[in-house]
Amino acid sequence: MNKTKSGTAGKTAVLNYNETIVRNVRAHMLDEARLTKLAEFFKVLGDPTRVRIINALAYQELCVSDLAAALGMTQSAVSHQLKLLRMANQVKTRRDGKSIFYSLDDQHVLDIQEEALTHISHKMTDHPE
């Protein structure tokens, strides 16, 4: 089926597509709310510092001081990133006296990280730079 669509500068483009295929794809696509949440999830994981924090917390729960020392960062910088991870429900806290310990909220983020690393390894093997 052909559909016309107005483009920039008053030009009209003709789109050729299979209406049945397009309808089928649209029926299986995620709704906007889920797409937004998924994009936000990957945005949080899109920062190397936050990935490093998640990687460190994969081994054990840590306080900000220990995390900062392990990562070679300031406590302030680590606290800022932990706040973002906490707001995204990627880390949780546990208070012990005056200390707050951070740990991963669940295993899912590590599962996704492992899957991504597998993908990266395959791509590096197939297309070494």
Question: Quick check: is 117 in a domain?
Answer: yes
What six digits make up the tokens of 100? 């707050």
Query: What is the SS3 assignment for 127?
Result: coil
| Residue 20 covered by a domain | no
Tens of pLDDT, residues 1-48: 656 555 556 667 778 999 999 999 999 999 999 999 999 999 999 999
CATH code of the domain in which 44 resides: 1.10.10.10
Q: What is the DSSP string of 54-122?
A: HHHHTT--EEHHHHHHHHT--HHHHHHHHHHHHHTTSEEEEEETTEEEEEES-SHHHHHHHHHHHHHHH
Q: In the predicted model, is pLDDT for residue 69 greater than 70?
A: yes
Is 18 a member of any domain? no
42 within domain boundaries: yes
Assigned domain for 121 exists: yes
Q: Which domain holds residue 110?
A: 31-126
Domain membership flag for residue 48: yes
pTM: 0.77
**Quick check: 85 and 51 in contact, CB under 8 A?**
no
How many domains are there within the chain?
Answer: 1
Is 2 contained in some domain?
no
